């Protein structure tokens, strides 16, 4: 068992939930994660993440989405400094793009927010800005429920990546 997990397994529930909260942004998710302890290893941790995600309500997902900055920006009020750092790392390829690409991304963000009333969520790790823009355009065609499910799946992927980073910290 990693030192991070061993220490986390021994924390009081509230503190354990607060520690993993930057990985997802939903308090209900973090509480569900803490309730599944003790967790032995990374495989069990990722399975616990999936289990926690399966039982979240729409309001829990929306809370998680609010913890993210717009894609290509850093202006959201992240729930922690750790979350802000992770967002920056995840969006690294977007930050180096041309002004035209950044302008298209900003316009896409505005259009998405007008259409769905929330920030566009995508697991940006390893994706270029053109790939993200293509996904954004495609997802703008979704109905509200389909898009909620797609954003939730993207959030689940982000949470899994962040849990891996947290374990390595």
Q: Which of 19, 63, 68, 159 is catalytic?
A: 68
Catalytic, 21? Answer no
Q: Which of 125, 135, 76 is nearest to 104 (CA)?
A: 135
Residue with tokens 């298209």: 104
In this structure, how many other beta carbons lie within 10 angstroms of the beta carbon of residue 144? 10
Q: What is the DSSP string of 21-70?
A: GGGT--HHHHHHHHHT----SHHHHHHHHHHHHHT--HHHHHHHHHTSPP
Peptide bond into 38 cis (omega under 30): yes
Name 138's Cβ contacts closer than 8 Å, sequence gap at least 6.
none
Q: Which residues are catalytic?
A: 68
């Amino acid at each position: 068992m990693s030192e991070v997990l061993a220490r986390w397994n021994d924390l009081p529930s509230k503190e354990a939930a607060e520690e993993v909260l930057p990985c997802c942004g939903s308090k209900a998710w973090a509480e569900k994660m803490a309730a599944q302890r003790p967790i032995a290893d990374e495989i069990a941790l990722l399975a616990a993440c999936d289990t926690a995600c399966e039982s979240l309500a729409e309001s829990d997902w929306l809370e998680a989405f609010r913890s993210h900055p717009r894609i290509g920006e850093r202006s959201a009020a992240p729930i922690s400094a750790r979350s802000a750092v992770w967002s920056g790392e995840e969006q690294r390829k977007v930050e180096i793009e041309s002004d035209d690409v950044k302008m298209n991304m900003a316009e896409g963000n505005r259009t998405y927010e007008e259409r769905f009333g929330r920030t566009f969520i995508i697991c940006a790790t390893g994706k270029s800005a053109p790939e993200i823009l293509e996904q954004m355009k495609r997802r703008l065609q979704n109905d509200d429920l389909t898009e909620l499910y797609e954003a939730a799946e993207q959030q689940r992927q982000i949470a899994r990546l962040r849990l891996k980073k947290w374990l390595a910290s």
